[in-house]
Structure 1
């Protein structure tokens, strides 16, 4: 019981302490890991708790990658800006880091190369966590960042296979047969229902079929969990499955951040190494930014994607742990990873304000080409704007159409927008947090705006910008939490409704109508 009391209490105290200073809880969990490592034995905590946390951390990472896969499309991983940026950034990073590590930290060129490879990767866990927290995994820049991370993960597997001498056997070729499993997986998800069996189905697919199954054929379980998610990403209930695993994944991921902190107490050399590569961390983001610009993306997408990728990777620790020549750098790399998280997490929270602040300096770097993430300027004959085309936005769109209005839906997910177009709705790709969209869009025909996206920051920006552009029509929004109602109204919305409260009122209204209809029939 000492382990549970000490680990959970430390995670809670340090995670809670981050909120008043504006840092995400994961930074506190990292600090809690170092605290447990330093003071745990003094309080009677068993020394064998490391493997327990490592096990929980592995479950958390597998569940995270599975849920990331549920929100991806295979097509996006093969896009030129994704594959090209992932490969080129890896090569340029090795060229930069190898001589640096060789000059200051080791006389061995091979060890320097392996450490440089570990530093070349970006954190899948941090990027996915931050994008998910901001509800931007489906946005263009979020999908681009995650696609690049998948390319990096594949590179990491190849590196491990080459330098550890553990090349995958012929069974690994079975990965190319996994699409044949899709009908069976779809049927399994159809039968799982909506209760705890759905949660167990998600755990089995991510941890058993993906995690253990891929390790049995000589591949990493992380790739297996991601592949399982990708196979199910086109299922109508993929989003529901992801939501059902959310709390479970969050709890296990605490173990991941604690385990990084508990990987070892740093000596002076490890601290110097972490600070030195921390100074080089901005180069990682700058390189991502200019590579994405070179592949024709706009400055905003390039900046947001690059910022998501500006952190060292937990896969670097896996590389160091799996290759004997690099094991001496395991603790220094863990400290460097922690430092990069502390720097990157708050910057990612401020990503949109940061771009707005430096937009004038970043915009000139854009290429004069047709950008794949181009924002619309003409809304046609539409008279109602609907931001966010999930279930709430889609219902609002259909209701507006039935009332004789001409709505247009805006969504930052290109795939979701395309799916709505196929279904016959007037929906376009546009991001309410993108200043370029607001600078060029014509709102002269718009009579009303509905804010149906979930992200509170996106709602606030949309409401403020609509009013700043002189829009005087009604702005109506929904809110997930009571404390958001006042914020959205202050930003410029005329009416803000709590989603669940309105659902309850609607149910009551239907019940009253049914009672009256039956009483009328009986009379």
Structure 2
């Protein structure tokens, strides 16, 4: 039974690769090549089947649908995202196309499509790296995700053109799809939080988006993205994306297996991948200088560029439509780029600190509006991290303290708090240069309410290093983390769940005293 062998090889090699700190999809590609070799040298039937091809296609559609769910205009309408993304794409194609044409003796169209495939960066790798470091909402994380969404849209256009399909007259119906948004919103609201939510995602991505667009002569990939984008502004869009995460990842395993099973790499494919790996740093350098040109600071430009210094699974998806004969060389190139990029991104902050004095001299004196140094002015109490816990602390404190300020690393969240009447500004506590430009002449107390333990440790150490002698208090879920925060210099670190229990008990005690004056609970 081929399916059992696919699952065994994919899990085994995926687990081995994950154990050494690389993304599991490198193991899935390796599993595909291993299965191809097994089929070549034995009589075992593990080769390509219609089932695997169908699973791979479903994985691509679900990936594009979840990309659509994140496709908010405000996330990509900024000069550094649109300008940086388009300029990098254009310059990369302009350099790579003639190089591939002359070096590999290709025709111009093949060279151009290969250059396009190599211009993209990995949405999967960058998102996982940023999420693992809790930096998806930090400024450099949002810029990286915005550029990746731009690249995904470009990839979709290329795939639609390369497919060469002629739309039918019924394709005009697509322009009326926005009229369905209220009905889709009601469906999402009515689907609850369990299996119906997953089924709704599959219905929209695979049936209405995939089959529906194919029926009118349009790309099924375009349909999946469009239906995802129609729900992007719904409050539960991210919940839908999370509910589909495991299903999407499982089907994408089939896509990577399919590439490897197509055939073992030959010498030309290996040479191509090695050359692609050698020129990979040029991709990151180009991103770095383009982002500096849009007034990002050296640190933000470096962290964004490093997260984008890899080749993309979207390049493979484009190749599967336009250049199927180049899938294996591109797959090896993507794998090698992950092997290089993943370890570097894990040490990105310390790496920047080592080379900041060499590369920081290229930084513009004019700053991006989101990266201006701030002064706390006459603020006496500072709340760092304006999520649910930070907001509750802020609202309780402002009843008795007017000189209060909140900081958050998500500009959109900071703007919403200002709209609600709170004094909140954008700042990233893990940004070393933020601390270098911070002025806090009247500060007396700090509440650390960020979700990330590293952010709390960095903030505590930096505050003490700047000579702050006031009171620092934090919360955390785990006792060992509380010990680390106190060791870093905080006056106190409370356990979140313990404090919740105390708060509940105090509410009960207040009720008992008001309902039965003079009595105490036993």
CA distance in 1, matches of 2:458, 2:10: 33
Q: Flag the 1:489–1:189 CA change in 2: closer, same or farther, 3 A.
A: farther
Which residue number corresponds to residue 83 of structure 1?
Answer: 82
CA distance in 2, matches of 1:329, 1:81: 32
CA distance in 2, matches of 1:69, 1:453: 28
Question: Structure 1 length as normaliser, TM-score?
Answer: 0.86
Post-superposition offset of 1:331 = 1.0
CA distance in 2, matches of 1:16, 1:214: 37
Q: Of 461, 477, 484, which aligns to 2:474?
A: 477
Q: Of 444, 454, 457, which aligns to 1:457?
A: 454
Q: Of 409, 412, 421, which aligns to 2:409?
A: 412
For structure 1, the residue ranges without an aligned partner over 5 or more in a row are none
Query: Does the 8 A contact of 1:121 with 1:152 survive in 2?
Result: yes
Question: Structure 2 length as normaliser, TM-score?
Answer: 0.86
Q: How many residues align?
A: 520
Post-superposition offset of 1:284 = 0.9
Query: Does the 8 A contact of 1:171 with 1:217 survive in 2?
Result: yes
Q: Flag the 1:442–1:167 CA change in 2: closer, same or farther, 3 A.
A: farther
Q: Flag the 1:259–1:48 CA change in 2: closer, same or farther, 3 A.
A: closer
Post-superposition offset of 1:442 = 1.6
- Name the SS for the 1:380 alignment partner: coil
What pairs with 1:314-393 in structure 2 (closer than 5 Å)? 314-323=313-322, 326-393=323-390
- Name the SS for the 1:272 alignment partner: helix
Query: Does the 8 A contact of 2:129 with 2:345 survive in 1?
Result: yes
Q: Deviations over 1:101-124 (max 9, x none)?
A: 223223433322221222122222
Which residue number corresponds to residue 147 of structure 1?
Answer: 146
- Name the SS for the 1:193 alignment partner: coil
- Name the SS for the 2:278 alignment partner: helix
Post-superposition offset of 1:170 = 5.8
For structure 2, the residue ranges without an aligned partner over 5 or more in a row are none
- Name the SS for the 1:385 alignment partner: strand
Q: Deviations over 1:461-517 (max 9, x none)?
A: 223322332333343333355664454444444444444454455445545655666
Q: Flag the 1:276–1:367 CA change in 2: closer, same or farther, 3 A.
A: same
Instruction: State the structure with more CA Rg.
Output: 2
Q: Flag the 1:315–1:427 CA change in 2: closer, same or farther, 3 A.
A: same
CA distance in 2, matches of 1:66, 1:310: 24
Which residue number corresponds to residue 269 of structure 1?
Answer: 268
Query: Does the 8 A contact of 1:301 with 1:373 survive in 2?
Result: no
Query: Does the 8 A contact of 2:383 with 2:449 survive in 1?
Result: yes
CA distance in 1, matches of 2:426, 2:100: 44
Post-superposition offset of 1:422 = 0.6
- Name the SS for the 2:114 alignment partner: helix
CA distance in 2, matches of 1:282, 1:257: 25
Post-superposition offset of 1:267 = 1.2
- Name the SS for the 1:166 alignment partner: coil
Aligned CA-pair RMSD = 3.4
1:186 aligns with 2:179: no
- Name the SS for the 2:377 alignment partner: coil
Query: Does the 8 A contact of 1:475 with 1:495 survive in 2?
Result: yes
CA distance in 1, matches of 2:470, 2:53: 55
Post-superposition offset of 1:274 = 0.2
